């Protein structure tokens, strides 16, 4: 089983192609194909972590995304943020989230606190 590190984008794409073929085979763990899939998947994950970092989501976009997921409207955020005008101020980036708002949004809507405390991007 010859396995080489992933150094280039071409290596990465070739490894992804091989991983995809192995996934289609669905090899059992402990078999040569299963071991190869495990090792190649680890290499791909390491390469992606170094070269394709995922940026943390914007807090306001995270709130809007959760609203969309749950079918919520601005009035539904009042228990977490306050009166409707304050909800609109937050959603329109006119008012920052307070610590209390962050706690309530995290506990009530399950939005990760580390996302909510991040600096919002400019619209």
Question: Which secondary structure element, helix H or strand E, spans residue 62, and what is its range?
Answer: helix 59-70
Under 8 Å between Cβ of 81 and 101: yes
Question: Could you say which of 2.40.50, 1.10.10, 1.10.260, 3.40.50 is the CATH number of the domain covering 59-116?
Answer: 1.10.260
Under 8 Å between Cβ of 111 and 105: yes
What is the mean pLDDT of each successive set of 10 residues along the chain, which is 123 residues long? 89 95 93 94 94 88 96 97 97 96 97 93 71
Cβ neighbours of residue 45 under 8 Å, at least 6 residues apart?
none
Give the per-residue pLDDT at 1: 64
The residue to which tokens 């949004």 are assigned: 105
pTM of this prediction?
0.61
Neighbours of 65 (CB within 10 A): 14
Domain ranges of the chain: 9-51, 59-116
Which structure tokens are listed for 54? 């995922």
Question: Which secondary structure element, helix H or strand E, spans residue 13, and what is its range?
Answer: helix 9-25
C-alpha Rg value of the chain to the nearest Å: 22
């Amino acid at each position: 089983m010859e396995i080489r590190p992933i150094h280039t984008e071409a290596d990465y794409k070739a490894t992804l192609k091989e991983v995809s073929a192995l996934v289609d085979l669905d090899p059992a763990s402990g078999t040569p194909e299963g071991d190869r899939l495990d090792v190649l998947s680890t290499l791909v994950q390491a390469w992606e972590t170094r070269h394709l970092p995922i940026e943390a989501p914007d807090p306001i976009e995270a709130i809007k995304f959760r609203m969309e997921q749950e079918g919520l409207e601005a009035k539904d955020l009042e228990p977490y943020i306050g009166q409707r005008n304050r909800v609109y101020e937050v959603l329109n980036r006119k008012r920052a989230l307070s610590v209390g708002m962050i706690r309530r949004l995290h506990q009530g809507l399950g939005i990760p606190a580390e996302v909510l405390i991040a600096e919002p991007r400019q619209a």
